[in-house]
Amino acid sequence: MEQYFVEDRSGKRINQAMLFERAKGASGSSEERHGAATGSSVPANAASEPIFPTSATSLPPPLLSLLDSLSHILKPTLPAETHKLLFPSSHPLHARQAILNLYAPGEGISPHVDLLRRFGDGIIGVSFYGGCVMQFERVQGENDDAHPEASDAPTEEIYSVYLPQNSIIVLTGDARYRWTHGIARRDGDWVLFDAEGKGEDDDAVCGTEVSPRAGWIPRSTRLSITFRWLLPGADIVGGG
Ligand SMILES: O=C(O)CCC(=O)C(=O)O
Ligand SMILES: [Fe+2]
């Protein structure tokens, strides 16, 4: 992974890489791509994602093997149709994009819905090295790429979920289309632990009544790998 997160020519730290494959069996008018892209110093709203073309043919082997492991791990947990949506047995309709985001402690990502015109349903996110709280907020009103402000509309419905290192999150249906997801920029997260010691964020524990089962987990460096389906035409450079 180090190869993707070097400094660019101006010395700016690169913290985002995007890799693309072509769908198996696609007639393929667009270029196959597999390349790294720079992000801003803090991963920004997905709407500003850059794309760089290269010439390789598919996702790199470590990501293919990660996908294979994810398919096995998620098989007993997910409803059969969701598993099929994420891991179609043959000839997927769409190409996958993998986005790698490297967060220094304290960094986050603004609340957003992943671009509706670029990505399909079925998103998988994996957290490595460190955890963080991901916050979900219900989108109010129309939500499409032409009305991104809908994502910022205030709402009472907010949930915070702690994503420990090595955890997997799957977003489909409403979770993908009707809720924003984001990571607050802060140095750590208050987390309530369940009986098995797994974390669940709860802002309420920030007050004086701190439950003995709650704790502050300082953020460390976190790498997230997100797999998404590219919609037709979305894999054409400049076509976003
Ligand atoms: O870091 C994460 O887990 C979220 C990344 C994300 O939402 C995105 O790249 O669109
Ligand atoms: Fe996202």
Average pLDDT over residues 208-219: 78
The pLDDT, as a whole number, for residue 193 is 84
Please indicate whether residue 16, judged by its CB atom, sits closer than 6 Å to ligand 1: no
Cα(190) to ligand 2 centroid in Å equals 22
Strand segments (E) across the chain: 16-20, 95-103, 109-112, 123-128, 132-138, 158-163, 168-171, 179-183, 188-193, 199-201, 214-218, 222-230
Cα(224) to ligand 1 centroid in Å equals 7
Q: Answer yes or no: CATH 1.10.490.10 is held by domain 2-230.
A: no
The pLDDT, as a whole number, for residue 13 is 81
Please indicate whether residue 224, judged by its CB atom, sits closer than 6 Å to ligand 1: yes
For residue 236, how far is the Cα from the chain centroid?
Answer: 21
Residue among 178, 169, 161, 159 nearest 77 (CA) = 169
Residue 45 has pLDDT above 60, yes or no: no
Please indicate whether residue 226, judged by its CB atom, sits closer than 6 Å to ligand 1: yes
> Which tokens hold the place of 71?
């398919």
**Each residue of 178-200: pLDDT tens digit?**
999 999 999 999 999 876 666 66
Average pLDDT over residues 158-165: 96
